[in-house]
Chains A and B, each alone.
Chain A
């Protein structure tokens, strides 16, 4: 955790909270499986809590658009890809471990 913090602080251009960046989150699911449903609701809860008003969630159902799996190298389902802000982050699982999710999304410090 400590290292993550240090890294974030050391970043030359720290995302400025005054100038809000719209987060672009893409969640890949495969049909309405319990895991997918759980992931979607977990993500929504987290975003409402930490990124209110400055996020966009795109849910992609690979059952409907299978060709999209190759673009983001999706193997595991569910997979969450943070497209913005850079760099790209990939998180797999149903997002039930919120601590790990926050770390993965670099949202820990916001907390």
Chain B
């Protein structure tokens, strides 16, 4: 098995290779440990072609191989030989950069460490004078010392500490800038990775929070959910957390969102940390979401990996790389909690912070699902909720011997959102959100909701029937009243007729009496009575 290249050697080599290829600054590599063929072979797997760089006169590699047994010291000496070698090499390629890996080897190889120390100090000054930017590697053997021979004391400009630790069988490499004169440097430990493109350092967090905040909104793919989120869905570029206990439909929500993005013609990257892409496609088809056409069209890409492979930093690097190459506008991470299997909460949180930062600077809308243990619903496992703009909480509600899914918007920055719990049902035709019933016993879902619905329907029907009955009663009463009125009127009219007849008969009768009396008076010759006059007048008229 090949011995791995030490990170410090790689760090130095990358400094030279990048300098030569990207900044047209040729370099000199002085190897005090590995031979040139070994070195060339070992770094070839990291994408560095040393032979070509050497042939192009962009790099000069020199192997300083000395072994103590060959040496016998017979008086004063200096390291002018080394100086001359470096100077000669630098001159050959016009070097601006030098790497000495690992110059501490000289302490082991040369007698009289006092002279070596003095000479190394002189060497560093000399390199500085020559304007050669130099990376000097050294080994750390004890935690309280930076280097075995304390050569960092000669280096005044910048000291970078590389560390490799293994926790719970997963290794992480870390890098820390111990000092960097004349600059405000990050003081944190930065995880870094070595892969086929060399070293990648991933900042713990971006320096500022100055990413854009677009006002544009994107649909969640579930129209009722869009309504809950102020009617328009998520903000573009925001990060959404969908957390819930097992089987609450987190992946379905994410799939809906991915589907909606693809429908808009946007690219979506789906990080599947738990299920295989085929499994997801099959499962989502059962709820009416067909993701396969999008995969075929190249709008949807899956990246399925168990985070246990390679550790959390590897995952982060992988996500970075894929996002950079695929340029999606939507990213799904399902689920983030699987990352916890490989790392501590702190690391996951830091990794997610960095991922969220990265996605935001790219303006990518991302949905993260998170599996929470029952009972601690609002404390999301990875403690990442504060990073998220929108938090959808999914839970199951147990009523009447059933578990039913419910969803609510726990928070959503920058928009009005519904504070109501919705029941959601997975149908053949996708996810549907339904109103839940709030009764004295709490929220009703599932059959309880259905029975409540029926009960309410019955009440309504009953009321309607009652109303109808009353209305009919009223009508009937009115009819009775009207009928009675007609009858009464008829009676009255009949009576009235009779009475009228009687009246007129009586009147007629009275007149005749008076007339008769007047005739009588007239005949009796009565005088000065009114009757008389009347009777006379009448009699006259009659005649």
Per-residue 0/1 for A16-50: is the Cβ within 8 Å of any B Cβ (1 yes, 0 no)?
00000000000010100101001100100000000
In the bound complex, do residue A62 and residue B81 qualify as a contact, i.e. CB atoms below 8 Å apart?
Answer: yes
In the bound complex, do residue A91 and residue B72 qualify as a contact, i.e. CB atoms below 8 Å apart?
Answer: yes
Nearest-neighbour CB distance to chain A for B484, whole angstroms, equals 135
- Bound: A14/B185 CA distance, A: 65
Chain B residues, Cβ within 8 Å of A98: 74
In the bound complex, do residue B74 and residue A73 qualify as a contact, i.e. CB atoms below 8 Å apart?
Answer: no
Chain A residues, Cβ within 8 Å of B88: 66-67, 69
- Bound: A47/B76 CA distance, A: 20
Chain B residues, Cβ within 8 Å of A67: 88
Q: Does B318 contact A (CB under 8 A)?
A: no
Chain A residues, Cβ within 8 Å of B110: 75-76, 92
Give the interface centre of A30, A76, A90, A95 by most chain B CB atoms within 10 Å. A76
Q: Does A74 contact B (CB under 8 A)?
A: yes
Per-residue 0/1 for B473-506: is the Cβ within 8 Å of any A Cβ (1 yes, 0 no)?
0000000000000000000000000000000000
The interface size bin for chain A is: 35 or more
Chain B residues, Cβ within 8 Å of A42: 75
In the bound complex, do residue B66 and residue A69 qualify as a contact, i.e. CB atoms below 8 Å apart?
Answer: no
Q: Does A97 contact B (CB under 8 A)?
A: yes
* Contact residues of A between 45 and 97, Cβ < 8 Å to B: 62-63, 66-67, 69-70, 73-80, 88-97
**Which residue of the partner chain, among A63, A78, A92, A94, contacts B72 with CB atoms under 8 Å?**
A92
Chain B residues, Cβ within 8 Å of A73: 64-66
Chain B residues, Cβ within 8 Å of A66: 84-85, 87-88
**Given A75-B110, A90-B72, A94-B74, does the pair A62, B80 have CB atoms closer than 8 Å?**
yes
Q: Does B34 contact A (CB under 8 A)?
A: no
Chain A residues, Cβ within 8 Å of B87: 66
Chain A residues, Cβ within 8 Å of B44: none
Nearest-neighbour CB distance to chain B for A24, whole angstroms, equals 17
Chain B residues, Cβ within 8 Å of A35: 76-78
Q: Does B513 contact A (CB under 8 A)?
A: no
**Which residue of the partner chain, among B72, B74, B75, B106, contacts A75 with CB atoms under 8 Å?**
B106
* Contact residues of B between 114 and 161, Cβ < 8 Å to A: none
- Bound: A63/B161 CA distance, A: 36
Per-residue 0/1 for B59-85: is the Cβ within 8 Å of any A Cβ (1 yes, 0 no)?
000101110001111111111111111
Q: Does A103 contact B (CB under 8 A)?
A: yes
Chain B residues, Cβ within 8 Å of A90: 70-72
In the bound complex, do residue A92 and residue B64 qualify as a contact, i.e. CB atoms below 8 Å apart?
Answer: no
In the bound complex, do residue A77 and residue B81 qualify as a contact, i.e. CB atoms below 8 Å apart?
Answer: yes
Chain B residues, Cβ within 8 Å of A38: 75
- Bound: A100/B70 CA distance, A: 13
- Bound: A5/B79 CA distance, A: 32
In the bound complex, do residue B81 and residue A104 qualify as a contact, i.e. CB atoms below 8 Å apart?
Answer: no
* Contact residues of B between 19 and 76, Cβ < 8 Å to A: 62, 64-66, 70-76
- Bound: A90/B110 CA distance, A: 12
Give the interface centre of A62, A75, A96, A101 by most chain B CB atoms within 10 Å. A75
Nearest-neighbour CB distance to chain B for A86, whole angstroms, equals 13
Chain B residues, Cβ within 8 Å of A103: 72
Please name the residue on chain A nearest to B70 by beta carbon.
A90
Nearest-neighbour CB distance to chain B for A7, whole angstroms, equals 13
Please name the residue on chain A nearest to B76 by beta carbon.
A94
**Given A30-B80, A62-B80, A76-B110, does the pair A69, B85 have CB atoms closer than 8 Å?**
yes
**Which residue of the partner chain, among A77, A95, A100, A104, contacts B78 with CB atoms under 8 Å?**
A77
In the bound complex, do residue A95 and residue B85 qualify as a contact, i.e. CB atoms below 8 Å apart?
Answer: no
Chain B residues, Cβ within 8 Å of A97: 73-75
Nearest-neighbour CB distance to chain B for A76, whole angstroms, equals 4
Chain B residues, Cβ within 8 Å of A33: 80
Nearest-neighbour CB distance to chain B for A42, whole angstroms, equals 8
Chain A residues, Cβ within 8 Å of B72: 89-92, 100-101, 103-104
In the bound complex, do residue B76 and residue A77 qualify as a contact, i.e. CB atoms below 8 Å apart?
Answer: no
27 A-B pairs within 8 Å (CB atoms) are namely: A30-B84, A33-B80, A62-B81, A62-B84, A66-B84, A66-B85, A70-B62, A73-B65, A73-B66, A75-B66, A75-B81, A76-B78, A76-B80, A78-B77, A80-B74, A88-B70, A91-B74, A92-B72, A92-B73, A92-B110, A94-B74, A94-B75, A94-B77, A95-B74, A97-B75, A100-B72, A100-B74
Enumerate chain A interface residues (CB-CB to B < 8 A). Answer: 28, 30, 33, 35, 38-39, 42, 62-63, 66-67, 69-70, 73-80, 88-98, 100-101, 103-104
6 additional contacts (CB under 8 A) given A76-B82, A96-B75 = A63-B84, A69-B81, A69-B85, A76-B77, A76-B81, A94-B76
Q: Which 7 A-B pairs have the closest CB atoms?
A: A93-B75, A66-B88, A104-B72, A96-B75, A74-B81, A77-B80, A30-B80
